[in-house]
Amino acid sequence: MSVAIETTTAPTAPMTAQPVVLGQRARMPEFSLAGKVVLVSGAARGLGLTQAEALLEAGAKVYALDRLEEPAPEFEQIQQRAIELGTELHYRRIDVRDTELLNSVIETIANEEGRMDGLVAAAGIQQETPALEYSAKDSNTMFEVNVTGVFMTSQAVAKQMIRFGNGGSIAMIASMSGTIANRGLICPAYNASKAAVIQLARNLAAEWGTYNIRVNTISPGYIVTAMVEKLFVEFPERRNQWPKENMLARLSRPEEYRGAAVFLLSDASSFMTGSDLRMDGGHAAW
């Protein structure tokens, strides 16, 4: 005995237009920042300046913000590179704790440029002090710079992004120390401040997503900078111990975070927000 079963073809969802990617003449155009205006706080030297240079290479016009009276000597060399790359690097002296000046400077830049596209909030301070010896003044200073300063810089930039209606991207420099307690490194207020930055980014992402503003964090591991080299002179055992605490058995260099800044501020990460990009050599994955 046979049974006939009537079948019908299931309806298919209508095809949506797909962006053309095959045959692109430009190489990875989604990483381009050409024509964009980007601010980098804490960019007079170190990681902030290194990331600023990467943004210039991607085509952005960059404004470096820092409290130092003069940026590092290599700043002028990078300014010259910017000219060769067909873009510009500018310096504005400002302390992120001065909210009134911060808003004024950022609004002036936005008015002059007619747009505001991105921010890398890299300004921050560090202090190694046992919890039982920490003063309220030092603790407040830490949070004022590392949390409130990042918050107010992001707010000032977001206001301009919303005014122009083009959206934008904000990347805050957090730390692996925002999710772990560093063995042998006593920095309770610093670690708490970086945990706050990670949580702050999630909340700003939730609030500002409707304006097409993305907010993410980068959490570096230990970075060999001039300041860390001085620390190794005082605590030579750390030079040998710290590399053993991650899966790559070495410390990172500032230039290893260049690509992350370009990725987060460009359309290469257009569907990424409220996320933490942890780059710690596997330190926190043990």
The answer to the question of residue 260 being in a domain is yes
Q: What is the mean pLDDT of residues 150-174?
A: 99
Catalytic annotation present for 159: no
Query: Quick check: helix, strand or coil at residue 281?
Result: coil
Domain, as residue range, for 178: 31-223+255-280
Contact between 199 and 250 under an 8 Å Cβ cutoff? The reply is: no
Q: How many beta carbons lie within 10 A of that of residue 119, not counting itself?
A: 29
Catalytic annotation present for 190: yes
Residue 8 has pLDDT above 80, yes or no: no
Residue 5: band (very low, low, confident or very high) from pLDDT cuts 50, 70, 90: very low
Task: Note the pTM of the prediction, 2 decimals.
Answer: 0.91
> Among the residues of 34-73, which ranges form H helices?
46-57
The answer to the question of residue 6 being in a domain is no
Residue 2 has pLDDT above 60, yes or no: no
The answer to the question of residue 273 being in a domain is yes
List the catalytic residue out of 36, 194, 222, 257: 194
Residue 20: band (very low, low, confident or very high) from pLDDT cuts 50, 70, 90: low
- Whole-number Cα distances in Å, 261 to 62, 121, 136, 220, 242: 13, 11, 34, 12, 25
Q: What is the mean pLDDT of residues 49-61?
A: 99
- Total length of the chain: 286
Structure tokens at 123: 């300004």
Q: How many beta carbons lie within 10 A of that of residue 236, not counting itself?
A: 10
List the catalytic residue out of 63, 91, 190, 257: 190
The answer to the question of residue 210 being in a domain is yes
Q: What is the CATH number of the domain that holds 68?
A: 3.40.50.720
Integer Cα distance of 219 and 278 in angstroms: 4
The answer to the question of residue 22 being in a domain is no
| 181 vs 13: which has the higher pLDDT | 181
Name the DSSP class of 252: B
Residue 80: band (very low, low, confident or very high) from pLDDT cuts 50, 70, 90: very high
The answer to the question of residue 172 being in a domain is yes
Domains of the chain: total? 1
Burial class (CB in 10 A: 0-12, 13-18, 19+), 212: middle
The answer to the question of residue 240 being in a domain is no
The answer to the question of residue 107 being in a domain is yes
Name the DSSP class of 12: -
pLDDT of residue 7: 45
